[in-house]
């Protein structure tokens, strides 16, 4: 047979190789690897057990066994917030899934990209109150971007791919994938990449050009502008673009609790954090402005105070990728829906085009704000009981560690002091629970951040109340070689509640004493507890020992470090605009009090 005759022999039509059949459980693990996941946090249980079998043999995805599902959720949040990648938490059905709810709600409030994978009872048992059955899809519906219920193994790849797309695009947030046990056990062809069908999910990323031009015109005309920067700029990875716009406009910048670090604290245009515990210049810059350019911020009540009286003379340009946020609290004169990075680039170009070579003259505005900075520098008073000043401890942690560290706070007084007294120079250096205000966030979130960024120093700055909610994750850290540093700001009380009781309840400290740090009885003894978890444990009660303890912690990288800083229970977070009060209160206090702190 000649070559020509061979080529003339008819061939059967080409057929695509059949997709391999694997179990749904194997599909979960394989899909995670193909989605680029390298680390997950979780605990096995009855309905998710099938997934844990192939996970044992997988060398792509590292599973970190936590001690509580809430810890898995917060660890995944910390991982995502430090790295910008999607965090993943895994739990079983019933109480395993419901233990994730707090972390899911926390991620929803703070726009953290999170995928929670939960096992569910056999599909034929759903609705029968089967053992460890809970309608986790229904439970989480108000606090997720979307929740998937998967009953068939062939649907697993597309559900996971869709979950990652929804979690990481538009306004980031949590997505739940609930998979029945029979879907995990049965087999089906594994098709990758799967077809992802998300009808109705079309995040707007490109802003309308006319709105950009209108915003630029307002910036060019404003005499008292301010850039009000929220956590959306962090999530949108737009720090460089923010810096460019700020320097083009010469406008003052304020960064909310969720945005600390996205604009350098060392920059001359930065006035600090606004809001209830913000700096006086930042609060009054917003209150007395004639133009607020809100960037990825949502006019939270902690920033605005009494919303009806907030910034009464200001026009508002509101930029957000989530259209539901615009004009929700404060009506926007120029609403801009779009990706904040792209909007900042376009707005900077439009502003420079509008003003040409002559920038607007806002020298009088800056003279006023600089006067406020001079008159009201951020500071604190020495304690009167001989115990440590918590502000000093936190300030020294920041100074000795430096801007390349990651600082993860719990919720309460220590959270506000960490936001105030550590200098932040880069985004993703400051992690905290802002919207939900979740006690217990810090230790597991710091653990997740350290897994995501192993070469950075990671501090958990926690209160003695918060620490007791999730400290069991120190065992996870010790066993898995995750050497976080934990600074317990131990005032032996639920500090922020105690502060409010001092100020607004005639000093009646009802159920806020925790008995953890003062006197001869310590329940628990944090040093003994930390040692039991395999940590280096230190107690500091004298100011002269603060630096040495922090330095030893920074030098110790073979295990976690816990420092019990025994601080004064009487220390308070200042400044403070009381809840429900207009931010004009700050102006009143300034005009009528010998010192701002005394008036408040």
- Residue by residue, what is the 3-state secondary structure of 282-335? HHHHHHCCCEEEEECCCCCHHHHECHHHCCCCCEEEEEECCHHHCCCCCCCCEE
Output DSSP code: residue 427: T
* Residue 15 a catalytic site member: no
Catalytic residue among 258, 276, 416, 496: 496
Closest CA to 379 of 425, 421, 424: 421
**With DSSP H G I counted as helix, E B as strand and the rest as coil, what are the percentages for the chain, rounded to 5?**
40, 15, 40
Tell me, rounded to whole angstroms, the distance of Cα 16 from its chain centroid: 45
Structure letter (DSSP) for residue 237: T
DSSP string over 38-49: -EEEE---TTTH
Check: CB of residue 118 under 8 Å from CB of residue 91.
yes
Of 69, 241, 288, 473, the active-site residue reads 69
User: Is 131 considered catalytic here?
Assistant: yes
- Say which residue the tokens 């192939």 belong to: 54
Question: What CA–CA distance (Å, rounded) separates 400 from 152?
Answer: 54
Is the Cβ–Cβ distance between 79 and 453 less than 8 Å?
A: no
Q: What are phi and psi of 309, to 5 degrees?
A: -105, 10
Please confirm, yes or no, whether 69 is among the known catalytic residues.
Answer: yes
Beta partners for 388? 567
Q: 524 preceded by cis ω (within 30°)?
A: yes
Q: Which two tokens stand for residue 94?
A: 């019933």
Q: How far apart are CA 572 and CA 520, in angstroms?
A: 24
Of 377, 363, 330, which Cα lies nearest the Cα of 583? Answer: 330
Q: Report the b/e string of 302-335 with b at 16+ CB within 10 A.
A: bbbbeeeebbeebbbbbbbbbeebbeebbebbbb
Which one of 181, 224, 315, 485 is the catalytic residue?
181
The answer to whether residue 122 is catalytic is no
227, 254 Cβ separation under 8 angstroms: yes
Sole residue written with tokens 């009054």? 284
The bridge status of strand 187-189 relative to strand 21-23 is antiparallel
List the catalytic residue out of 132, 185, 472, 587: 132
| Residue 77 main-chain phi, psi, to 5 deg | -65, -45
Query: Which positions are catalytic?
Result: 69, 131-132, 181, 496
């Amino acid at each position: 047979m000649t070559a020509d005759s061979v080529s003339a022999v008819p061939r059967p039509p080409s057929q695509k190789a059949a997709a391999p059949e694997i179990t749904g459980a194997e599909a979960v693990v394989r899909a995670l690897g193909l989605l680029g996941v390298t680390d997950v946090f979780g605990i096995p249980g009855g309905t998710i057990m099938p997934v844990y079998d192939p996970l044992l043999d997988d060398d792509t995805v590292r599973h970190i066994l936590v001690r509580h599902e809430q810890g898995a959720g917060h660890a995944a949040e910390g991982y995502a917030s430090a790295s910008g990648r999607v965090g993943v938490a895994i739990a079983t059905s019933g109480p395993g899934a419901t233990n994730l709810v707090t972390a899911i709600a926390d991620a929803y409030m703070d726009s953290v990209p999170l995928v929670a994978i939960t096992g569910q009872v056999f599909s034929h048992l759903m609705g029968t109150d089967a053992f460890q059955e809970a309608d986790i899809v229904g439970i989480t519906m108000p606090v997720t971007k979307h929740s998937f219920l998967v009953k068939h193994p062939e649907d697993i790849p597309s559900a996971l791919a869709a979950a990652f797309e929804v979690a990481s695009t538009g306004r980031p947030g949590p997505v739940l994938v609930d998979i029945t046990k029979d879907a995990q056990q049965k087999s089906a062809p594994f098709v990758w990449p799967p077809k992802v069908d998300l009808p109705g999910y079309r995040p707007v990323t490109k802003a309308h050009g006319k709105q950009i031009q209108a915003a630029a015109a307002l910036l060019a005309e404003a005499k008292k502008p301010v850039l009000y920067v929220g956590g959306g700029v962090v999530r949108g990875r737009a720090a460089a673009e923010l810096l460019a716009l700020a320097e083009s406009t010469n406008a003052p910048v304020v960064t909310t609790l969720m945005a600390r670090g996205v604009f350098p604290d060392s920059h001359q245009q930065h006035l600090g954090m606004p809001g209830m515990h913000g700096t006086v210049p930042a609060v009054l810059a917003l209150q007395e402005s004639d133009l607020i350019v809100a960037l990825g911020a949502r006019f939270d009540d902690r920033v605005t105070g009494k919303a009806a009286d907030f910034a009464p003379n200001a026009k508002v340009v509101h930029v957000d990728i989530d259209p539901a946020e615009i004009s929700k609290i404060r009506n926007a004169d120029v609403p801009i829906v779009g990706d904040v990075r792209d909007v900042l680039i376009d707005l900077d170009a439009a502003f420079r085009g509008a003003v040409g070579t002559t920038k607007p003259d806002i020298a009088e505005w800056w003279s006023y704000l600089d006067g406020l900075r001079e008159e009201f520098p951020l500071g604190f008073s020495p304690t009167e009981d001989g115990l440590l000043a918590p502000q000093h401890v936190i300030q020294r942690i920041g100074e000795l560690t430096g801007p390349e560290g990651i600082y993860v706070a719990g919720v309460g007084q220590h959270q506000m002091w960490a936001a105030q007294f550590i200098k932040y120079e880069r985004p993703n250096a400051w992690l905290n629970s802002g919207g939900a205000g979740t006690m217990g966030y810090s230790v597991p979130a710091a653990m997740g951040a350290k897994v995501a960024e192993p070469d950075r120093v990671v501090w958990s700055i926690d209160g003695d109340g918060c620490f007791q909610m999730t400290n069991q994750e120190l065992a996870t850290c010790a066993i898995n070689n995750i050497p976080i540093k934990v600074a317990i700001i131990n005032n032996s009380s639920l500090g922020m509640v105690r502060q409010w009781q001092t100020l607004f309840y005639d000093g009646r400290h009802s159920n806020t004493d925790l008995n953890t740090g003062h006197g001869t009885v310590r329940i628990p003894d944090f040093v003994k507890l930390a040692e039991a978890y395999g940590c280096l444990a230190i107690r500091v009660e004298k100011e002269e020992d603060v630096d040495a303890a922090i330095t030893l912690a920074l030098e110790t990288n073979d295990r976690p470090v816990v420092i019990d800083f025994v601080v004064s229970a009487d220390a308070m977070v200042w400044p403070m605009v009381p809840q429900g009060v207009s931010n004009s209160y700050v102006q009143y206090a300034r005009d009528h009090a010998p010192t701002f702190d005394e008036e408040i």
